[in-house]
Amino acid sequence: MKRTTILVAAALATALAAGVLAGCGSQQTPAGSNSSAATSAATSAATSAPTAAPATDAAQDPLIAELQDALANQPAYQSVTATETTNANISAVEESADTSSEPVIVESKIVYKFDLSNGQLKTSFTTESDGINLQYFSEGDAVVFVSDGPIYSGTAEQFDMPHFAGLGALLDDEIGDLNTIIGCAASVTKEQIEDTTVYTLVLDPEKYMASDEILAMTAEAGNPVVQATVTIGFDTEGRVVSVSEFVEHAVTSGEVTIILSDFDSTVIDPMPAAEKTYEEMEADIAAKIRDLKDETGSSDAAKTQ
């Protein structure tokens, strides 16, 4: 899963082009994903100095330099909670001269927790999908997955989710590299909302698509970026407390918002004991898929009789 909103735009645009989404309803997919290596949670987002941003039409705006300085000089913290909400939709697409598909709506809420206070990064992930609570816990490279069935154990590489590498990796995956995004800004504004200083970046669609492989692929599939806006909020201590990205494509649109809270007070529950391995989980999933195919086949056969 490359950034949630971008994945939705790319994957669903491709599916629409292939004609496989007709008649589908809403769905949620808190799946794992590849992510580039990033510094870990509490220290990375707070202390890593970002690299220089590419040139931009707004580069001479003093707010750009101010924002870059604010990102580079956040105070350090050891634990934090990140609450992510996403909302994406696929506009109705004409299937023939007389019919069109219904929009597909994708919504999700995920709560991530990061704790580096004991020297080894601990994380947790909690969400709900189709009425089932899903949880992941990690301590270093060890991961446990909890749902309504057995508790499975594996490695961070096996489960392949970006947040296992920390908050910085999560933000890069869900929103994108903020300095790269700043380099795509056509304009920037600043406002004070209660105790939060908010910078709003209106992006140049062409530069934005050129900066990201998946956005470029989405454009080639007939779903280019039409407009995009990113907001970054800082608290009175200078910490990033909110990041939001809205992207409108020709066919799809999506918004992801990540709110950071509980700095240095986030507590992660102990990792539960596993009952099965990752390999056994794969076997269980394969068995369920076979059962589903058998049920579908039996149902189709009954209809033809």
Instruction: Report pLDDT digits (tens) over 58-76.
Output: 556 899 999 999 999 999 9
**With bands split at pLDDT 50, 70 and 90, how would you rate the model's confidence at 105?**
confident
Give yes or no for residue 211 having a pLDDT over 90.
Answer: yes
In the chain, % of residues over pLDDT 90: 66
Residue 269, both tokens: 């529950």
Q: What confidence score (pLDDT) does residue 60 get?
A: 60
pLDDT tens digits for 273-289? 999 999 999 999 999 89
Give yes or no for residue 152 having a pLDDT over 60.
Answer: yes
Q: What confidence score (pLDDT) does residue 206 get?
A: 97
pTM of the model: 0.78
Question: What mean pLDDT value characterizes the chain?
Answer: 81
Q: What confidence score (pLDDT) does residue 90 get?
A: 72
Give yes or no for residue 13 having a pLDDT over 80.
Answer: no
